[in-house]
Structure 1
Amino acid sequence: MTDFTPYKKLGVTEDASFEEIKDARDRLIVELDGDTPAQELVEAAYDAILMDRLKARQEGKIKVPDRIRFPEKNITTSPSILQPVASPAKLRWLSESLDRPSRKDLVTYTCTFAGLLALSIFLPASNSIWMAIALLASIYFLKSKENRFWRSLLLALVGLVIGVSLAVGLLPLIIHGFSLSISTAIILLVMWLVTTLLR
C-alpha cells in the first residue's frame, strides 16, 4: 500500500488553510488542462480533503472560527457620509410614535371620519357635535392602540388644534359659500391623519 494521501496529491500539508487548498486545486486544474482523468483525480482529492475537514470539525478536532460559526454577528456597515447620525433614543422615540395600521383598522378609521365628514356636509347646523364625536373617536382609536388614555387625549387635542389652525389659516383662500364644509373637512383630515399614523 502506498503512502499517497489527497493532501500529497494537491501538494499541501494537512494543516494548510482552506484558501491554500483551493488555490492548489485551481493551479493543478489549470496545469492539467486537457488531461481529464488527472483533473478528476485532483477533484477527487479536493473532495476527500473537504470531507476529511468536515468530519474533523464535526468531531471537534478543528476549531471553527467564530466569524464562520456566527456570521450574523460580524455584519457591520460603514455609515454613509450623506446619512445623518441620529441617536438611538431619537430613533426609538420616532419609531414608537409612528404606526402602520392594519387594513382593517385603516378602513375603520377612514369610514368613521368620512362618515363624520358626510354628516357635517349634509347637516352643517350640527358641526360642533360632529367635531366632538370626531375628537372622541380619535381618542378611542388612539387609546385602543397603546391603552394610554392621557397620551391619546393629548394627541387627539393636538390634531384638533392643528386642524383648526390650518382651517383658519386657509379660510381667506376658501370659496365663501363652502367655507364651513371645507374647514370642517380640513379639521377631520388632520384628525384622521393623527389617528391613523400615530399611536
Structure 2
Amino acid sequence: MSEKTPYEKLGVSETAPFEEIQKAKDHLSQKHSDSFETMESIESAYDAIVMERLKLRQEGKVSVPDNIRFAEHQREISSKFPVSNFKSMFHWVQQFIDIPSFNDILLKTGIFLALSLLVGFLRPQSSLTPLFLALGVFVNIYFLNKKENKFNRALLITLTMLSLGMIIGGSIIQLFYDPNTTREFSQSFVSIIVFFIFWLSSSFLH
C-alpha cells in the first residue's frame, strides 16, 4: 500500500486553492491537537505542499498568496534554528491551556472574588476561614470536573493548586514578616492567594 501524498493527508485535491488547504490544515490541527505524531504529520504535509506551490510559483505555473512567500525565508533560517522543536513545544503546551468564554470566566471570577472578599472582611473570625477555603476547593473541583468529567484529575489538580497557593502565600508572608502580623491575617492572606490560583486553574487549565 503506497504512502499517502501530502494532499491526501490534508484531505484536499491537488488543484485545491491555497485558502482551502490552509483551512484543512487548521481544522486537522485543532482536531488532533492532543496527538504529537499526528500533528507532526499534518505540519509535514502542509510544509511539503507549501514548498511545492512555491516552486510552481517560481516557474510561473501557479500563484501563491503574498503571506506565504515568507516561507522561503523561513526555510533558509530553519537550518540555523530548531523551529520544529519550538512548534512541538508550543503544541505540547497548547493542549494544557483552555480559552474560556466570557460568561464562563465572568462566573468564576465572581465566585472566587466573592470568597476572597468574605475571607478578607471576616478576618477577625478566623474560624470561618477554613470553611470558605474548603468551599473554594469544592468549587474548583466542580469547575475542573465539568470540563472533561474526570473527577480524579480534577481532585489531583485542585489539591496541587491548594498546596501551591499555601506555599506561595506562606513564602510571601515570611518574606515580608512583621511581628505584628496576626494569625488571622496570615490565614486570610494565604486563602486569598489560593483562591487566585484556583481561579487561574479553573479558568485556563485544560
TM-score calculated relative to the size of structure 2: 0.56
CA displacement at 1:146 relative to structure 2: 1.3
Structure with higher Rg: it is: 1
Supply the AA of the counterpart residue of 2:131. Answer: I
How big is the shift at 1:174?
Answer: 5.2
Counterpart in the other structure of 1:184: 191
**Cα drift, residue 87 of structure 1:** 7.8
* Structure 1 portions without partners, runs of 5+: 1-64
Aligned residue pairs, count: 134
Question: For residues 84 and 162 of structure 1, what CA distance do their matches in structure 2 show?
Answer: 33
- The one-character-per-residue Cα deviations of 1:77-98 (angstroms, maximum 9, x if unpaired) are 4364456533877554422211
5 Å-filtered alignment, 1:41-56, equals none
User: Structure 1 residue 75 and structure 2 residue 82: aligned?
Assistant: no
Alignment of 1:75-94 (within 5 A): 75-76=50-51, 77=71, 78=75, 80=78, 81-82=80-81, 84-86=83-85, 91-94=90-93
2:118 equivalent in structure 1: 119
| Counterpart residue type for residue 190 of structure 1 | I
Q: Which has the higher contact order (CA 8 A, sep 6+)?
A: 2
Question: Matched residues, percent identical?
Answer: 25
Give ranges in structure 2 of 5+ residues lacking alignment.
1-12, 22-45, 52-70
> Which of 133, 136, 140 is equivalent to 1:131?
133
TM-score in terms of structure 1 length: 0.58
Match of 1:195 in 2: 202
The answer for the alignment partner of 1:153 in structure 2 is 155
Shift of 1:183: 2.0
Aligned match of 2:146: 144
Partners of 1:174 and 1:182 within 8 A in 2: no
Distance 1:111 1:85 in 2: 41
